Structure 1
Amino acid sequence: MTVDTADVTRQRAILLLRDYKAAVRSKRIRAALLAAAVLICAVAAAWSGEVDVKKFVEGLPRFGSYFRDIMPTLRPATFWSDVAEWYWNFPTWIELLLETLLVAYVGTLTGATVGFALCFLTSANIFRNHVVAFVVKRTLEFCRTVPDIVFALLFVYAIGLGPVPGVLAIAIHTVGALGKQFAEVVENIDLKPVEGLRSTGANWVEQIRFAVLPQVMSNFVSYVLLRFEINVRGATVMGFVGAGGIGKELLSSIRQFYYSDVSAILLMVIATVFVIDLLTERLRHRLLGLTGH
């Protein structure tokens, strides 16, 4: 009894097509259910938050008019004198802005150092002590869950006004954020170099130094630079609660309705963040060997 090869191939194609259609149908159903769940959650959040779309639409023009109000009048005939009047307190503002940058820098450096030390203790692929890993993970979760401005309020209450509470608050929050990101990078490394060093009798620290760090350092540096950029903005906000920097001056200008001062300080902060972003991008590209691109 001979079997027609064409019939067998046709039957297999029919079965494969049926399975494919079933898989596509199942995937579409899951996507539809997920979309429905997201929509339901969004509606529930809007309802619980008492979102008023009409009020939001009516308020948009006022949002734009506020930014028009805070911008000074710059006339071509007296442009430079208008700018000088706009930035009448520039020496004080630039000093406070430098203080904000120092708060963000010291806080980022301190937090990154501690996060670097702790991330290896939470990586399941290279650290086997589950008790220590559990404690360190919960500690990192606490550090990044509590908002940094809450830490700043606590330290201002305990220590007093000044940049030190801002540094401590940023450092603690950075430990939690970078510790988590560093650990995820370590958990995705290739373990073959680690196993090779282990087979030669290398201890745990030597395995980290010669097998893990070469694979993760570029990502670590990239995350630290990104966190520094985020912390500059965070340090500005912390000035609202007295944790040093230009934020206190910005809040004072907002409360006293010094509109031109608000726009001047905001532009200084925005320009600083732009410059930091450009510099950190260049540094990341250089570290990753993408300078030519």
Structure 2
Amino acid sequence: MSTAAIAAGEAAFRAARAQRRRATLFGLALLAACLLLAAWVSEAHPATLLAGLPRIGEYFHRILPTLRWEALFAGSETEGSLAFWFYRLDAWAWLLFETANMAALATLMGAAAALLLAFPAAHNLGAGTLAYQLSRRSLEAARTVPEIVFALILVWAFGVGALAGILAIALHTAGALGKLFAEAIENTEMGAWDGVRATGGNWAEACRFAILPQALPNLLSYALLRFEVNLRSASVIGFVGAGGIGEELYKVISFNYYEEISAIILLVILAVAAIDLFSENLRHRVIGALGGAA
């Protein structure tokens, strides 16, 4: 290769690298401008943030319990003990159990609705333009509205209690899982689909026997993750009277019962961690069973 050709190649490489750098710098500058504009519109001023950070630390310091090692395992009447910190553990545990039941039932209802809508919402299955558009738009509408807005509406319709919370979370879950389910279905191999259709199977039978077995591990993983998310959601929507531990948490926050706030938050964290461990174990078992069957 001649020296001129090598020099021309190096010049072209340097020019392309310089162009990429300019494009990168322009993109970063545009991103910075957008972030500054967003901060200005939302009034996220640095002075306000700096003034508020110490108050956040002060609040977390207030909600920490005053535990003493010599009294740590004493009874609930002894200040500084774990029992004194969790003096209402029986009531909180029941409310947390109710919250977990709300999350489980809402996840089951939402996942069932999402599964029904995910097949026509999957572009590769050819359900028809009308069915595709209706299912897609329905899922978008369901996941766009926050659970707490659904809860406010349903509390007005059904009254204060767990039913409104379950339905609110189920509606949002259907929209969120429906999109994920549809994308998982779109990533499946279509060979089995073609085989079922070629042997005379209809559209529903092809979905059941060709697509569902392939997508099932991903669908289960998404549903279990959503169950964990819904436990947190169920804790929040109780603020508007939709049942569960959220109502109790809202009460103690309103009355500044600082140590009770940290106790309830710790219980919710432990519950989420337990559900995460259970979900991971269950997912591996199901995937192993499906792999063994295959």
TM-score w.r.t. the length of structure 1 is: 0.90
Counterpart residue number, 1:113: 112
Residue 64 (1) aligns with residue 57 (2): yes
Residue 135 (1) aligns with residue 158 (2): no
Give the Cα–Cα distance (whole angstroms) in 2 for the partners of residues 122 and 14 of structure 1. Answer: 54
Q: Deviations over 1:231-289 (max 9, x none)?
A: 00000001100000011011100111111111111111111111111221222233344
Percent identical: 44
Counterpart residue number, 2:229: 230
Residue 244 (1) aligns with residue 243 (2): yes
Report deviation, 1:24.
Answer: 4.0
Distance 1:284 1:36, change over 3 A: farther
Give the Cα–Cα distance (whole angstroms) in 2 for the partners of residues 216 and 34 of structure 1. Answer: 37
Counterpart residue number, 1:3: none
Residue 161 (1) aligns with residue 157 (2): no
SS of 1:92's partner is helix
SS of 2:72's partner is helix
Counterpart residue number, 1:73: 66
Counterpart residue number, 1:147: 146
Counterpart residue number, 1:208: 207
Report deviation, 1:22.
Answer: 5.0
- Which amino acid letter does the alignment assign opposite residue 30 of structure 1? A
Q: Return 5+ residue gaps in structure 2 as ranges.
A: 75-80, 290-294
Report deviation, 1:14.
Answer: 6.1
- Which amino acid letter does the alignment assign opposite residue 76 of structure 1? W
Contact 1:108 1:227 in 2 (8 A): yes
TM-score w.r.t. the length of structure 2 is: 0.90
Q: How many residue pairs are counted as aligned between the two chains?
A: 283
Give the Cα–Cα distance (whole angstroms) in 2 for the partners of residues 216 and 23 of structure 1. Answer: 42
Give the Cα–Cα distance (whole angstroms) in 1 for the partners of residues 21 and 192 of structure 2. Answer: 42
Residue 32 (1) aligns with residue 25 (2): yes
Give the Cα–Cα distance (whole angstroms) in 1 for the partners of residues 198 and 16 of structure 2. Answer: 45
Q: Deviations over 1:106-144 (max 9, x none)?
A: 000000001001001111110241112111111111100
Contact 1:103 1:163 in 2 (8 A): yes
Distance 1:195 1:274, change over 3 A: same
- Which amino acid letter does the alignment assign opposite residue 41 of structure 1? C
Q: Return 5+ residue gaps in structure 1 as ranges.
A: 1-5
RMSD of aligned C-alpha atoms?
A: 2.0
Give the Cα–Cα distance (whole angstroms) in 2 for the partners of residues 192 and 23 of structure 1. Answer: 42
Report deviation, 1:203.
Answer: 1.2
